[in-house]
Amino acid sequence: MSEKEQSVNTFAHEVKLENNEVGVMALGGLGEIGKNTYAIQYQDEIVVIDAGIMFPEDDLLGVDYVIPDYTYLVQNIEKVKALVITHGHEDHIGAISYFLRAVNVPVYAPPFALALIKGKLEEHNLLKKTELHEIKPDSFLDFGKLSVEFFQTTHSIPDTVGVAVHTPKGTIVETGDFKFDLTPVTNQYPDMLKMAKIGREGVLLLMSDSTNAERPEFTKSEAWVQKSIERIFDRITKGRIIFATFASNLSRVKMAMDSAVRHGRKIAVFGRSMETAVNNGRDLGYLNISDEFLLEPSDLKNTPPDETLILSTGSQGEPMAALARIANGTHKQIKLQPNDTVVFSSNPIPGNTASVNKVINELEEGGANVIYGPLNNIHTSGHGGQEEQKIMLELMKPKFFMPIHGEYRMLKIHSGLAQSTGVPSDHIFIMDNGDVLALDGEHAHPAGHFSSEDIYVDGGGIGDVGNAVLHERQKLSQDGLVIVTATINMQTKEILSGPDLLSRGFVYMRESVDLINDGRRVAFGTIRKAMMSSNADEGSIRQAVIDELSHYLYKKTARKPIVIPVLIQVKSN
Amino acid sequence: MSEKEQSVNTFAHEVKLENNEVGVMALGGLGEIGKNTYAIQYQDEIVVIDAGIMFPEDDLLGVDYVIPDYTYLVQNIEKVKALVITHGHEDHIGAISYFLRAVNVPVYAPPFALALIKGKLEEHNLLKKTELHEIKPDSFLDFGKLSVEFFQTTHSIPDTVGVAVHTPKGTIVETGDFKFDLTPVTNQYPDMLKMAKIGREGVLLLMSDSTNAERPEFTKSEAWVQKSIERIFDRITKGRIIFATFASNLSRVKMAMDSAVRHGRKIAVFGRSMETAVNNGRDLGYLNISDEFLLEPSDLKNTPPDETLILSTGSQGEPMAALARIANGTHKQIKLQPNDTVVFSSNPIPGNTASVNKVINELEEGGANVIYGPLNNIHTSGHGGQEEQKIMLELMKPKFFMPIHGEYRMLKIHSGLAQSTGVPSDHIFIMDNGDVLALDGEHAHPAGHFSSEDIYVDGGGIGDVGNAVLHERQKLSQDGLVIVTATINMQTKEILSGPDLLSRGFVYMRESVDLINDGRRVAFGTIRKAMMSSNADEGSIRQAVIDELSHYLYKKTARKPIVIPVLIQVKSN
């Protein structure tokens, strides 16, 4: 029997998996930080791991976020057994509503992620339509041919797990996001014994987090941050402390709360995501803060500043978050006071540096003392550095390796680390989203590709904004537009009214009277000349107006607004 | 005589300088990195130091750069004796054409800056109209009451000087950009003896570079970078080396060239600004490279890869620069080859990180080996850290201190450093652009303010783009626009044609037929209803269309395109 005849799974876009092969693929997460969505397939069973979004780069004007193309899963919907979630960050759960609308399958998620997912599904009216299951690190899911177990890891959000998918051909481990924090301030330790057990039993393929592959270090523990935070509370005896961090970083929230309680400060919580995180954290038992230490916003004015901690969102300089509004004076309940100390327990994500600096400048100009930056030891990454990536490789001792969760250069460095721990280079696969890796237990090889284009979500629209629309937005954002209106009679070759010019985002019309008047003359001459042509039609007149007016405006202003002719044809009576 | 009567200089915007006072002010450079432009005034003499641009932040859509408002200088044009330039970076000379169009005064600049300035003035047809003077570190300029001397400093461009303006009330020192590089690879050492001489003679006010005030360190020397570059050339024996850095960083260019010559590599120069820098550097004697080591682009294909160095622009990920085009395969003369090594001898400026990472990823995906980042020791800053800022304070021992060249938080930290070296806090002035500081030799006090708004340059327009136009561009960039066209007869209350909808940057029209058709119906109903109103006029109909259609489109798409009604009125016959 030829290889071809043996094939049972021939999908669109030439994915070819043999009956004795496990397929491993990413719908998102390779060559990028974001939209993590991985799938393990064996015969008629698929398990999907995570359903993340990616935040758009600056040139995706107006795009709210980017999600994967789920077509491959939709085409194989009857095979998809589960969506398994590793933790509750947006790049792992943010697209879950879009995912479930495309592929409504049971969701398995650890408690903190599950609480956040419920909120999302409620907003999208999907809560009742979705089968949700809570998983614990010792959960075991059996789908028939595929089964899944978990191992606890440490990251910058509670309840983070790695996933081991057992297949008849061997075990595939997807680490999720991880660091080895051996002194976590939560009681959630990285379960190295379980990782070692899985490794000892044999790992066919390790898919491991590459985020910090550029850092030749062991990421510092949250306990190290805790000391710095405690020192700040020791030192700041006058005025309020305003503490900003990622809401989901409950370790950081817990440390700030604990230090506050020890120093006689009560806690007010601001920002929607921070309120949600604190509520979820208390419900799930990760924050043991009693009501007496919590302030309502309205209590704030009656509480002495040196007995106050304000927990706030906005550590990334987000312009609508609580902290930015405190900084620029538009927050309704919190006005800056002398002796306020603001702590940024965070590092700016690349791209946010300017926004964060703006908020810091504004806070300092407003008289606050601001504690920020790497020198203050108030932040550590949630991802392991090279040393931890090597530990994971050593614990799992995989036969094959696939670096995931990273841009290309990170994946490449991570590959080098794998080689340095003994994985042969031909057992390592740097793949793209949509690439399929086939494993039969002994060998691994690329087995085709499916479409994995970025899908843009803009407002209520999914995928209805693409490169042409974005290109128009780009042009509009640079130089605006000019609309030329005229009423014409094609039979008599007359211009009955206009042409009039109106613009948006181009120049101040009132201060550019000459430009506009001359532009009208150019348009008038162009329309008249174009109408006189023997084969004149609306299209040719429009094009002539676009060409001539664009040329004129560029000559006068060195700008290229989009020129839109609106020609109304009136017939002779 | 009252203080008021004594005043000789009462300018617009309430600047008040007494006859016995020196005025010190910034038109740009305070509270920002960019558009450095400082002025020292005594009675009827003003000396201006630098004429920089600022690159726009991301939200200034379509703006090419930002320049200061020169109105104060224009109003006092007969007093302005000179524009003195400290060095040739864009944030110090980039606005010189705009400056000279407003205030055509003699320009004094060191050789490397002067060469760059000549290029700019030629482009703007100003070369013949401008009086240009070359200065050396030992130049002395005498304007009558004010005189100017210079002291050599080290920075990331050749020929950088600090400026001492001697006034009858004391000496004002403006450091320009500086670090104390005690082992510069050029032969331009920081002239500490001259600084000390100026300090010993007495400095009334020190205005000092605050860029690296956040760094508690002594910035590393270029000699340290040189070792890393030499090691790279030692190690890379196969394939081409492509070396990217700021073109103006002639030290870096020189080091790469020297290493190339030592390792038997010939040098090809790519990118317009790199070509200019190399030409200027050779003309001025800073690059002693003989023709035999230089390659023409056409020689490249006949030169063995391991005998080739390509010097390139684009180290900041600029999309149109040579390196980005090499990376994405669109460079006409250079295609990536196996064994190519690309060196980024630079750090990304905040805001450029994503672009730089994109180029690195593309280069690595193309098979190149890329050397980048702080771990490779291939870059050092051109600005001194806190230790060097304190050395400058110690050498100058100023009576008063004004931190310049920095965002607010940097100015604030620099103030703290000044205090730590003994400057009393009430002798330190953190000022804004447009603030005037008055000094009579004994005392210093704020003396009013003049307008110092940012002026936006967009294409050929200066100041014709403001917040309203930018706000329109912002809206257009997010959701595009929808134009509604209809011909109406207000007398008969008829809609004669339309309404038709057309859009740009909103949705794909062809794939949104229902949305557009329903939108037309909404517009039709709205126009008809609005026309029926007893006091209907074109304005009220237009507003109704905007309101109703915006509401409809938001409900359907969660987007807010700009709605522009174009209503053509036709009269009854």
For A85-106, write each residue's pLDDT tens digit: 999 999 999 999 999 999 999 9
A507 to B412: CB separation less than 8 angstroms, yes or no: no
From chain A residues 75-114, the ones with a CB under 8 A of any chain B CB are none
User: Per residue, what are the HEC states of B509-550?
Assistant: HHHCHHHHHHHHHHHHHHHHHHHHCCCCCHHHHHHHHHHHHH
Please choose, from the candidates B224, B228, B250, B220, the residue with its C-alpha nearest in 3D space to the C-alpha of residue B384.
Answer: B220
B460 to A58: CB separation less than 8 angstroms, yes or no: no
Query: For residues A436 and A402, what is the distance between their CA atoms, to the nearest angstrom?
Result: 12
pTM for the whole structure: 0.89
Mean pLDDT value across residues A238-256: 95
CA B213 from centre of chain: 19
- The question of whether A383 is a catalytic residue gets the answer yes
Which positions of chain B have pLDDT values less than 70?
1-13, 572-573
Give pLDDT, residue B463: 78
Domains, in order of start, for chain A: 16-217+381-462 (3.60.15.10), 222-373 (3.40.50.10710), 480-569 (3.10.20.580)
How many Cβ atoms from other residues are within 10 Å of residue B230's Cβ? 15
**Is residue B425 marked as binding?**
no
Q: Say which residue the tokens 């987000």 belong to.
A: A318
More confident residue, B517 or A388: A388
pLDDT in tens, A4-53: 333 333 344 588 899 999 999 999 999 999 999 999 999 999 999 999 99
> In Å, what is the CA distance from A393 to each residue of A23, A182, B132?
21, 17, 65
Query: For residues A245 and A14, what is the distance between their CA atoms, to the nearest angstrom?
Result: 45
What 8-state DSSP symbol labels residue A511? G
Give pLDDT, residue A280: 94
Q: Say which residue the tokens 């599904």 belong to.
A: A121
Q: Mean pLDDT score of chain A, rounded to an integer? A: 92
Q: Are A117 and A210 in contact (CB under 8 A)?
A: no
pLDDT in tens, B14-65: 888 999 999 999 999 999 999 999 999 999 999 999 999 999 988 888 899 9
Mean pLDDT value across residues A339-368: 93
Please choose, from the candidates B294, B297, B86, B280, the residue with its C-alpha nearest in 3D space to the C-alpha of residue B178.
Answer: B86
Give pLDDT, residue A252: 95
Query: Which of A97, A353, A488, A566 to mutate to test binding with chain B, by most B CBs within 10 Å of its CB?
Result: A566
Q: In this predicted structure, which of A299-313, A344-358, A398-412, A423-437 has the lowest mean pLDDT?
A: A344-358
Q: Which helix (H) or strand (E) holds A10?
A: strand A9-10
B58 to A512: CB separation less than 8 angstroms, yes or no: no
Query: For residues B368 and B381, what is the distance between their CA atoms, to the nearest angstrom?
Result: 26
Give pLDDT, residue A12: 45
Closest CA of chain B from A149, distance in Å: 34
**Is residue B449 marked as binding?**
no
Portion of chain A with pLDDT greater than 90, in percent:
76
What 8-state DSSP symbol labels residue A220? P
**Chain A residue closest to B563 (CA)?**
A504
Please choose, from the candidates B114, B97, B96, B88, the residue with its C-alpha nearest in 3D space to the C-alpha of residue B51.
Answer: B96
Looking only at the bridges linking them, the beta strands covering A140-142 and A147-153 are antiparallel
**Chain A residue closest to B216 (CA)?**
A375
How many Cβ atoms from other residues are within 10 Å of residue B274's Cβ? 23
B462 in reach of chain A (CB within 8 A): no
Catalytic-role residue among A69, A181, A191, A383 = A383
Contacting residues for A289 by C-beta, under 8 A, at least 6 apart:
A257, A261, A267, A282
* Degrees, nearest 5: CA angle B148-B150-B154: 155
**Is residue B177 marked as binding?**
yes
Q: Which helix (H) or strand (E) holds A501?
A: strand A494-504
**Is residue B249 marked as binding?**
yes
Give pLDDT, residue A291: 93
CB–CB contacts below 8 A, A to B: 184
Q: Is pLDDT at A529 greater than 70 in this prediction?
A: yes
A459 to B505: CB separation less than 8 angstroms, yes or no: no
B505 to A62: CB separation less than 8 angstroms, yes or no: yes
What 8-state DSSP symbol labels residue A273? H
Q: Closest to B361 (Cβ–Cβ): which among A409, A479, A506?
A: A409
**Is residue A385 marked as binding?**
no
B514 in reach of chain A (CB within 8 A): no
Closest CA of chain B from A479, distance in Å: 6
From chain A residues 308-367, the ones with a CB under 8 A of any chain B CB are 350-351, 353-354, 357, 360-361, 364-365
Give pLDDT, residue B531: 86
- The question of whether B142 is a catalytic residue gets the answer no
A124 in reach of chain B (CB within 8 A): no
Q: Closest to A469 (Cβ–Cβ): which among B408, B472, B507?
A: B507
Give pLDDT, residue A4: 38
**Is residue B317 marked as binding?**
no
A566 in reach of chain B (CB within 8 A): yes
Q: Is pLDDT at A251 greater than 90 in this prediction?
A: yes
Closest CA of chain B from A202, distance in Å: 31
Closest CA of chain A from B78, distance in Å: 29
B354 to A58: CB separation less than 8 angstroms, yes or no: yes
Query: Which of A123, A124, A410, A477 to mutate to test binding with chain B, by most B CBs within 10 Å of its CB?
Result: A477
Q: Are B143 and B81 in contact (CB under 8 A)?
A: yes
**Is residue B379 marked as binding?**
yes
Catalytic-role residue among B50, B159, B181, B209 = B209
**Is residue B383 marked as binding?**
yes
What 8-state DSSP symbol labels residue A415? H
B353 to A354: CB separation less than 8 angstroms, yes or no: no
Q: Are A458 and A98 in contact (CB under 8 A)?
A: no
Interior/surface letters A213-248, b for 16+ CB within 10 angstroms, e for the rest: bbbeebbbbbeebbebbeebbeebeebbbbbbbbbb
Catalytic-role residue among B166, B331, B383, B414 = B383
**Is residue B382 marked as binding?**
yes
Q: Is pLDDT at A218 greater than 90 in this prediction?
A: yes
Q: Are B76 and B40 in contact (CB under 8 A)?
A: no
B564 to A407: CB separation less than 8 angstroms, yes or no: no
pLDDT in tens, A309-328: 999 999 999 988 999 999 99
> In Å, what is the CA distance from A562 to each residue of A473, A506, A546, B456, B481?
10, 9, 8, 21, 11
B412 in reach of chain A (CB within 8 A): yes
B58 in reach of chain A (CB within 8 A): yes
Give pLDDT, residue B507: 83
Query: For residues B21 and B548, what is the distance between their CA atoms, to the nearest angstrom?
Result: 62
B559 to A31: CB separation less than 8 angstroms, yes or no: no
Which residues in chain A touch residue B479, judged by CB atoms under 8 angstroms apart?
Answer: 62, 458-459
From chain B residues 357-386, the ones with a CB under 8 A of any chain A CB are 357, 360-361, 364-365, 370, 373, 375
